Amino acid sequence: MVRSPVGKVTPQAAAATPLPSGAILPGAVLGVMGGGQLGAMFAMAAKRMGYRVEAISDTEDCPAAHHADRVHVGGFDDARTLERIARSLDALTFEFENVPVEAARAMQRVVPVRPTPEVLWTTQDRAREKAFLTDHGFACAPHRIVRSREDLHAAVAALGLPAVLKTAAFGYDGKGQRKIERADGIDAAWDALGPEVCVLEGWIDYDCEISVVAARGLDGATAVYEPSRNAHANHILDVSSTPAGLPATVIASARDIASRILEQLEVVGVACVEFFVTRDGRVLVNEIAPRPHNSGHLTIEACETSQFEQQVRAVCGLPLGSTRQHSPAAMANLLGDCWANGEPDWHAALTVPGVSLLLYGKSDPRSGRKMGHLTALAPTVEQAIANVTRARDLACRRP
């Protein structure tokens, strides 16, 4: 079925060119579960390509509201309402993974959901995600599932210290994590995070953290971006840069693993695989995000196809775009802390060569909250990192 720009079926167009089964053309209505900045940037890309976008959010004043054609406001646990909303859509995707799987399954009864609720189910829980990685032979940190205080003590005995205790669900940006460095900290960690199911991970003496954004189409084709090297501050991504400056064998391994993970999960859409790179060159999977990723924002300026256009293409069954990067790039997050001394000095920031600004439209700049980002393009990745951090310092009035 082909839709005209006003959303009506056009028989002549439908008969003109044979389309892959399941392809959804511009003029159709795409839904995105979640109204945050990833949903906003998805809407921007989809609108540019001629699609209509409806976001589903639990907050009315959300970033996606500035770009979507419509925002449905309500909880994600009302299956009847979600099924009604789904009837107005041609396809549905996600901008965050903490969506009740039953809600996604309810919508799947009405409209194609890409990636599927089963992908969401696997990746939104660390225990299930680790089981998937282990079952399919993907190397990750040594770990144990922890369901009780006794389990935790046994897991520490098996893995040793230091180790990191993580809640199985609803963890991001360092939330739901506790490093255990000494035996007298075991019970305190459980008191902080239990009695929810947790995962204890053995400590990895890694050289750096990288992430690989990849897409898989309706036809099974994959497109993989170059890895980004990621630096964190207070457990929140601070600066991403690419090229990652790692040996070719490490780069090839990370890209290959990301592609195979998407294939094994049967993802249709965009996902990001985060890795630890050990000091001896091993590549260990840390986490999988079944959506675009903060570290992939630099693809907007640096690559032929951004991760958000790629998401639209994959979800709609269109050919995937080129992931070729035409310039070294670095991205720096702008957190609410940057507003501590008033409105940031955007004029000063944008005097730095090759720097661009993207603000998410959030009204409350709380400490640690992602409010936007800066991206710098430069002849070398070292210069891109220097320029984007200088631009941020100028914006935030840092000495």
Instruction: Give the tens place of pLDDT for each residue, 132-160.
Output: 999 999 999 999 999 999 999 999 999 99
Q: Is the pLDDT of residue 9 over 50?
A: no
Between vectors from CA 145 to CA 140 and to CA 147, what angle results, nearest 5°? Answer: 160
291: three-class secondary structure by DSSP: coil
List of domains in the chain: 11-113 (3.40.50.20), 142-202 (3.30.1490.20), 206-395 (3.30.470.20)
| Distance in angstroms (rounded) separating the CA atoms of residues 330 and 295 | 9
- pLDDT score of 5: 38
Q: What is the pLDDT confidence band of residue 188, given thresholds at 50, 70 and 90?
A: very high
Between 136 and 20, whose confidence is greater?
136
DSSP string across 124-167: TBHHHHHHHHHHTT--B--EEEE-SHHHHHHHHHHH-SSEEEEE
CA distance to 16, 118, 287, 313, per residue, from 128 (Å): 45, 11, 11, 28
Between 76 and 90, whose confidence is greater?
90
Mean pLDDT of the chain: 93
Within the chain, residue ranges assigned H as helices are 11-16, 37-48, 79-86, 101-108, 117-123, 126-135, 149-159, 186-193, 248-265, 299-302, 307-315, 346-349, 381-395
| Distance in angstroms (rounded) separating the CA atoms of residues 199 and 336 | 30
State residue 145 phi and psi, 5-degree precision.
Answer: -80, 135
- pLDDT score of 12: 41
Q: Is the pLDDT of residue 7 over 80?
A: no
| Distance in angstroms (rounded) separating the CA atoms of residues 297 and 359 | 12
Percent of the chain whose pLDDT exceeds 90: 87
Q: Which of these ranges, 107-116, 170-179, 330-339, has the smallest mean pLDDT? A: 170-179
- pLDDT score of 267: 98
Q: What is the pLDDT confidence band of residue 80, given thresholds at 50, 70 and 90?
A: confident
| Distance in angstroms (rounded) separating the CA atoms of residues 218 and 276 | 29
Residues 108/98/36/305 CA torsion (nearest 10 deg): -70
Predicted TM-score (pTM) of the model is: 0.93
Q: What is the pLDDT confidence band of residue 1, given thresholds at 50, 70 and 90?
A: very low
Instruction: Give the tens place of pLDDT for each residue, 229-256.
Output: 999 999 999 999 999 999 999 999 999 9
| Distance in angstroms (rounded) separating the CA atoms of residues 329 and 326 | 9
- pLDDT score of 18: 60
Residue indicated by tokens 């396809």: 91
Residues 296/301/306/308 CA torsion (nearest 10 deg): 70
Residue indicated by tokens 């294939």: 263
Q: Which of these ranges, 2-11, 64-73, 299-308, has the smallest mean pLDDT? A: 2-11
Provide CB contacts within 8 A for 223, sequence distance 6+: 214, 215, 216, 217, 305, 310, 320, 321, 322, 323
Tokens of 341: 């001394």
State residue 364 phi and psi, 5-degree precision.
Answer: -120, 95
Question: What is the residue type of 56?
Answer: I
